[in-house]
Structures are given as C-alpha cells and as structure tokens.
Structure 1
Amino acid sequence: MTPPTVRRPAARDAGKSGGPATRAWPKRLLVLGIVLSALNLRPAITSLGALLEEVRDGLGMSGSVAGLLTSVPPLCFAVFGVMAPRLARRFGAGAVVCAGMAAIATGLLVRPHAGGTAGFLAASALALMGIAVSNVLMPVIVKHWFPDRVGSMTGLYSMALALGTSLAAAVTVPLTDALGGSWRSGLSLWASLAVAAILPWLPFVRRRAEDSGRQERATENRGEGPVEGRAATSRIAGRRTEAAREDSPAGHRTPAAPAREEPPRPRVTRSRTAWALAAFFGLQATAAYITMGWMAQIFRDAGVPAGTAGLLLAVTMVMGVPLAFVIPRLATRLPHQGPIVLALGVCGLAGYAGLYLAPADGAWAWAVLLGVSNCAFPLALTMVGMRARTGPGVAQLSAFAQSTGYLISIPGPLLVGVLYQHSGGWGLPIALMSALMIPQMVFGFLAGRDRTVEDEADR
C-alpha cells in the first residue's frame, strides 16, 4: 500500500476519537441544526391556537371536538416519542431528527387542505410525530455531543423553542390577514421553516451511512471474522461477540473491549425519581398545551381583539426566550432544583387568579406570569440530563419521562374544552388549571432532588 493509503484510516480513527480538527465542523453544524429544529417544535400548535376560532368555523367543530384537537399533540408525543430511542439506535439520532423535520414540513403543508376534520387531524398527527421524536432526542444529542455544557446547550435549545412558539403566536394572525384572510394559508406557511431545518441534518444522515459502509468493508477485510468487526461499533454485534467467545476453540482470544463500549441501559421504571420527573413533565405539559390551545380564546371571549389576543399569547411564549437560557444554567448550579419549581408554580397560580378575576383589564400581566410559569419545560429538560449519569440512561429517561408525561397531559386540554362548552364560561376551566398546578409543584420538587436513576434502578 502507498503511504497515503496507510494514513487515511488513521485520520479517520482520529476523527472518531474526537480530535478538534475533525469534530469542530460537525459541532457547529449541529448547533445550527438544534436551533432550527427547536424553532419548529411548537409553531404547529401555537399557530393553530391563534386561529382556533376560524378553524372551528371552517371545519364545523364543536367546543368538545376542538378540545380533542388540542389534546392531539400530547397524545402523539406519548405514542411516537417512545419509539425515538429505538429509531436512533437503528438509524442514528441525526437521521431520525432529519426525518422528523421532513414529517413536520409535510404535515403542516397538507393539513389545511386535507378536507374535513378527520384529514386535518391526520395531517396534524404526521407533523406532531416529527415533533415527538425530535423532542425526545434533543436531550440525548446534547448529552452526547456537549456533555460538559448540558445546561447552556439546553438553554440555547429551549430559547429557540420558545422563540418559535412565540413567533407563531404573534405573526400568524397578521400574516393570515396579509395573505387574504384565509386560515389555510396562515397555517400552511409554517411548513417553509421546517424545510429549512432539514438541511443541517443531511450531512449527519450521510455520515452515518458512510460510517456503516466503512464498518461493513472493514468487517469483510479483517481476518478476525465478521462478528468481531461489527462488534466495534454495534451493541447487538457486541452481544454476538460474547456468544462467539464462548463457542470459540481453546486458545482463541477474542477481544473483550468492544462488548464493554456501551454501558447497559438502566430500568428507569424502578426509579422513583423517574416517575416523579414523568409526573412533573406531564403536569407542566398539561398547563402548556392548555395555554397554547385556549389562552387566546380566553382573551377573545373577554373582549380582546383577535390580533391582540395573539400578541398576548406570544408574550406568554416569548418569556421563555431569556428565561429558558437562565433557568437551565441556574439549575445545573444547584444541588436541588425544587426551589425553582416552587417559584414557577407560584407565578402560574397568580396568573390563573388574574385570568379569573380580570382577564381583560390585567391581560398583559397575566400573560407575563403564565409565561414565567411555562418555563417549567426547559427546567424539566435540564433535569432529564441531570438525573442520569450516562448517555443510554439519558435516552431511557428522556423517552420514559416524555412519553409517560404526555400520556398524563392528554385529558387536560380535552377536559377544558368540555367544561367550557357545558358551563358556558371560563370559571371551571381556570379552576381546573389552578388545581393541577399544586401536584405539579409537588412532583417537581421531588424530581429536583440530587440523585440519578441508575443508582435507584440498581437498588
């Protein structure tokens, strides 16, 4: 072999080991991909909230059916989010997020023109499926690529998520008016943002495929046997290597290191902290989706114009932009995140009280307070990264906490719609929101204790 041929595998090995020259560009591109993806994780929901009355009239929905529509996001997040770790192990996290962005773009483009409530729900589910897998994998990607900057990267991701959420709430109504007043045009325009988010992930999809091809070629060229070649990068092949070691003739030495490369995944269902975090995640998601789906309608029913109601919802969402960066960084510096949980809960209770007593007169103050309370989401994401020691542990905990949490949050928005329709006002729905804030504070305080799911699962 010529000298360049000899050096090229060494250069590739150096890249895999994380040298600065080879890992600098993927990290920069990854930051861009994380930010663009986060921008797309809520416009599908908040753009609909801003135009919910028009969509209800256009599709002939009752209040109960509209409540069902606002419950679709957590349902999809629960069902599809649990699949994310398995898909990431099979195809790579970058490929799965890339496919998720494509699903968001397709769903947002199709749903306004699908025809009828059933088609609207089906296209919404496609977009929400892409959001679900990306939701789960973002903490995993941050933990893997930025293990020493979990707080700051989670803050950046949460800031972008809050920015996308508030942007959709603020500009959907004005853009709809500029496009001729059609709610279909106002909803479908957000597909373009999802298309832009696909691009930064494409190199990671190709890189995964190239790595797989190199591994297969290396397996065929080595004299050790195909099982041992695959074991260098695959957990499944690692288990086969163990079997091959047991069946090998005496005197044949099989390398043991590849089978130990990936630590075992903990059984998070045996961890009390995992259950507390799942309950906290579910209850804060309940509050968030009630807010995103119904708060603009609360203000509109109180006499606030539609455009102003959209801006109020945007104010609630935009509060997460600065706080989503501050709260995760503060949380990583504290041994116990419970005090932050309690402070956010008190703001939520004050905001609900204001909505009940004077929804129009103090609208801007209530929007700000509820926006502060909604920052329980970046705090929950930060705690996912802090309550597990290893990458597999974070993946398991993220999937469990988010999937279980979103299952918990499904009835909330639906029940609000039913109470609103049958009571004829917002008194009972707001009382429900206030009541749910109490267990959210309790479970969040328990989840904030300084411990890891690996320690509890091994007991």
Structure 2
Amino acid sequence: MALAAVVCAALNLRLVVTSLSPLLTTVGGELGFGAAVVGLLGTLPLVAFAVFGLVTPAVMRRLGPESTAVLSMLLTGVGQALRAFAPGTGTLLVLTGVALTGAALGNVVIPPLIKQYFPDRLAALSTVQMVAIHVGALVPPLVAVPLAEVVGWRFALGSWSVLALVAALLWALQRGRPHPAAAAAPTTAGPALARPIWRVGMAWRMALLFGMVTWNVFTLFTWLPTLLTDAGHTPAMAGSMVSLMVGTSLLFGLVAPTVTLRASNTFPVVALGLAGYAVGYAGIALASGLAPLWVLALGLGTSLFVVTMTMINARSTTPQGAAALSGFVQGAGSGMALGGPLLFGLLGELTGGWTASYALVAGGSLVAALVVAHAERTPRGVEAAAAGRPV
C-alpha cells in the first residue's frame, strides 16, 4: 500500500502544470486572458515550490508525514476538480494555486516517506519516484487536446483530480499502520553545519544552478505549446511535443544520476544538457518545421533537473547537511526562477514576437548556468564548505 501511495502521489507532482498548458489557448479564448496570464500561470508553480520548500518541514513536524501527504493530495485533487468549473480568470488562478500548494507539499514530503518506509531500497524507490513524476508530466499533454475535443476542456482538465484523491485515500489508510522496515533502519547522526546554510557560498551557487535549470523547465512547460502553435502547428501536435520532451528527459534521467555520481568533474555533464537547451531553443526559433528534432534536444536539457537534484544529494555527508542543502537549494532556486515564465510571455507580448524572450530569458539563464556549473565542477561537501575547508 505504501508503494502504491508513493507512486500515486508522485504522479501528481507535475500533472497540475502539464494538464493545463496544452489547453491554455482554448481556456484563454473562453475566459478572455492572454500572454500575461499564461505567464502568471507558469510562475505559480515556482511560487508554491519556493514557499512550501521552506514551510513543509514545519507542517510535517506538526501533522506527521502521512497526514501531510493526505493534506497534500487533498489540496491537489480539490484544486484540480474545482478549477475545471472556474467562471473567470481570477478563480482559475486561485484554484490552480490551491492545487499547486498541494503539489508543492508533496514535492517535499514524498522523499522522507520513501526513506521511512523503504530504508533498504532508497535507490530503487527514488528511481520509481522519478519515473512516476515524469509519467505524470508526460501523459496529460498527450491526451489533453484530443480529450477536450470530445468532452470539452472542463471535463478534460478536472478528470485528473481522481488520481490525487486516490493518493489521498491511500495515505489516509496508511496512517497508523506499522512499517517494520523503518523501525529496523539504523539511525545516522552527524554534526551540524559550522555556519548557517545561507552563509555558505557553495549553497548559493548550487541554488543559482538549480534556479536556472528550473527557470527553463517551467518556461517550456508553460510556453512550448504556444510557441509551436504560433509557428503553425496544431494544438494536438503542440501538446504531444510536451510529452515528447518529458519522455526524452525521462530516458536521459534514468542514466543521469549514475553518470553524475561517478563524474569527478560535473561540468561536462551539465554543459551537455545546457547545449541541448541552446540547440532546442535555436531550432524552434529558426526552423520550427523540424520541431520533433528540437524537442528531443530540449528533452536532453530538461534532464538537467535530475542532474541538479543528484548533485544536491551527492554534495553532503550527513543527514543534517543533506536536509539543509536540499531545502535551501530548492527553496532559493525556485525563488530565483520565479520570473522565467512570466518574463518570457511579457516580452513576447510587448515586442509582438519571441526573439527578445529567447535572447533574454533563455539565453541569459543558460549563460548564468554555464558559469555556475564551471565554478561547481568539482564535487564539494556542504559540511566542508561550511567549515571553510576545501575538498
């Protein structure tokens, strides 16, 4: 039951975003909003992830991890169901925010639950979680437009709430059940960081790298369908390209953690992904007729999300260091990425084209990521960095 609960919950963590983005042209036409609101919808996930990356640990201490997971999935499910009936743009934004609050809570609570229930299978369950997140991002864009053409966009959007409500039920049933594996797992203690995490330069550089990668991931989730429809492709084809990008990211993501952990110099790994972004953006801008080829390149770039998460986990030697680095990097990095989707859309709306958006939002963020990746090319533990010792 715990395994089923983990999988169902993980499926919802990106679904809230990717189930809506292929339908934005249709929804915007009916509710009467344009590029600025689309950019705001793309920014909401980053706001939620930034805020609740810091808040969720306190919620877990108060409610317990299983109850937090129930709350997470209830918010996700109810938000998704109700936004399908939104009468206007404001209501859609608010209810999408409710659903994203649940997804943000789940983003933080699932890894500790995996460690609690499967302490002897962390690698396997982490892979299962990663695959489930990608599947949850991949399937909705593939079917959203065809389903909306048959039953309408409201049913197509709201139907995904069932999966979150099933996950909430599974975690509710799991509360209070014994889990001997967790009780038998050894505890590991380690020293606290010598300095607060926000005073460690290495943590800021990691946050910037994570933020720039996240900036591009959510910009593409939000705007790739619009970029392709503006280039003359059908909405169904544009939605399927989001699925192709996520599927490609999944394939690269299966090997990315192993390659990253074994690399004595992580710069080539990150640079390869950044090159995928650069080629993909340039291709969509200059030769959109070959969209599937450029989307494959963007999928390579999007797999950097897995690489940066692996770098976070690898650059610590104690549970305290891992928790501090992960929380800071995800919270601060998501905060840095807030402007990406919104700025991309605003520039496009102000200039009447996408050239400025590509140059500033995509190009600028990729250059920043490249510089930081070079600075953090050699693995370095956060504990040693906080103590001021080179590793």
So what's the TM-score if we normalise by structure 2?
0.90
Choose 158-167 or 85-94, whichever is displaced more: 85-94
Deviations along 1:157-191, one digit per CA (max 9) or x if unpaired, are 22221111111111111111221xx2211111110
- Assess if the C-alpha contact under 8 Å between 2:249 and 2:301 holds in 1: no
Matched, 1:289 2:200: no
- Assess if the C-alpha contact under 8 Å between 2:148 and 2:155 holds in 1: yes
Matched, 1:168 2:152: no
Matched, 1:399 2:337: no
- Assess if the C-alpha contact under 8 Å between 1:348 and 1:369 holds in 2: yes
Alignment partner, residue 302 of structure 1? 231
Call closer, same or farther: CA 1:91–1:207 in 2, change over 3 Å.
Answer: farther
- Assess if the C-alpha contact under 8 Å between 1:140 and 1:394 holds in 2: no
Distance 2:115 2:267 in 1: 22
Distance 1:396 1:377 in 2: 19
Helix, strand or coil at the partner of 2:380: coil
- Assess if the C-alpha contact under 8 Å between 2:16 and 2:103 holds in 1: no
Helix, strand or coil at the partner of 1:113: coil
Deviation at 1:383, TM superposition (A): 1.8
Choose 260-269 or 191-200, whichever is displaced more: 260-269
Distance 1:137 1:458 in 2: 29
Call closer, same or farther: CA 1:392–1:139 in 2, change over 3 Å.
Answer: farther
Helix, strand or coil at the partner of 1:319: helix
Matched, 1:423 2:362: no
Helix, strand or coil at the partner of 2:326: helix
The one-letter amino acid of 1:170's match is L
Choose 295-304 or 168-177, whichever is displaced more: 168-177
The one-letter amino acid of 1:395's match is A
Helix, strand or coil at the partner of 1:449: coil
Alignment partner, residue 124 of structure 1? 96
Deviation at 1:378, TM superposition (A): 1.2
- Assess if the C-alpha contact under 8 Å between 2:191 and 2:318 holds in 1: no
Deviation at 1:261, TM superposition (A): 7.9
1:296-335 correspondence runs (5 A): 296-335=225-264
Alignment partner, residue 271 of structure 2? 342
Structure showing greater radius of gyration is 1
Call closer, same or farther: CA 1:317–1:384 in 2, change over 3 Å.
Answer: same
* Aligned counterpart in structure 2 of residue 78 of structure 1, from 46, 50, 58: 50
Distance 1:365 1:169 in 2: 18
The one-letter amino acid of 2:350's match is H
Matched, 1:52 2:52: no
- Assess if the C-alpha contact under 8 Å between 1:81 and 1:136 holds in 2: yes
Alignment partner, residue 368 of structure 2? 439
Alignment partner, residue 183 of structure 2? none
Matched, 1:377 2:305: yes
Matched, 1:185 2:155: yes
Deviations along 1:171-230, one digit per CA (max 9) or x if unpaired, are 111111221xx221111111011122224423543249x99xxxxxxxxxxxxxxxxxxx
Helix, strand or coil at the partner of 1:82: helix
Alignment partner, residue 364 of structure 1? 292
Distance 2:114 2:264 in 1: 21
**Matched-pair identity in %:** 31
Choose 317-326 or 183-192, whichever is displaced more: 317-326
* Aligned counterpart in structure 2 of residue 452 of structure 1, from 365, 372, 381: 381
Helix, strand or coil at the partner of 1:425: coil
Helix, strand or coil at the partner of 2:20: helix
Distance 1:261 1:153 in 2: 20
Deviation at 1:445, TM superposition (A): 4.2
- Assess if the C-alpha contact under 8 Å between 1:144 and 1:391 holds in 2: no
Deviations along 1:115-141, one digit per CA (max 9) or x if unpaired, are 222211111111111111222234444
Call closer, same or farther: CA 1:271–1:440 in 2, change over 3 Å.
Answer: same
Call closer, same or farther: CA 1:446–1:202 in 2, change over 3 Å.
Answer: farther
The one-letter amino acid of 1:126's match is V
Call closer, same or farther: CA 1:272–1:205 in 2, change over 3 Å.
Answer: farther
Helix, strand or coil at the partner of 2:84: helix
Distance 1:32 1:171 in 2: 23
Alignment partner, residue 218 of structure 1? none
Alignment partner, residue 89 of structure 1? 61
Helix, strand or coil at the partner of 1:115: coil
Alignment partner, residue 184 of structure 2? none
Aligned CA RMSD, in angstroms, stands at 2.3
Deviation at 1:375, TM superposition (A): 0.6
So what's the TM-score if we normalise by structure 1?
0.77
Distance 1:54 1:144 in 2: 43
Call closer, same or farther: CA 1:111–1:420 in 2, change over 3 Å.
Answer: same
- Assess if the C-alpha contact under 8 Å between 2:188 and 2:319 holds in 1: no
Alignment partner, residue 315 of structure 2? 387
- Assess if the C-alpha contact under 8 Å between 1:137 and 1:395 holds in 2: no
- Assess if the C-alpha contact under 8 Å between 1:159 and 1:322 holds in 2: no
* Aligned counterpart in structure 1 of residue 83 of structure 2, from 98, 104, 111: 111
Alignment partner, residue 255 of structure 1? none
Deviation at 1:151, TM superposition (A): 4.9
Matched, 1:351 2:280: yes
The one-letter amino acid of 2:66's match is G
Distance 1:274 1:330 in 2: 22
Deviations along 1:272-310, one digit per CA (max 9) or x if unpaired, are 222122111111111011100000111101110111111
Deviation at 1:91, TM superposition (A): 2.6
Distance 2:175 2:316 in 1: 27
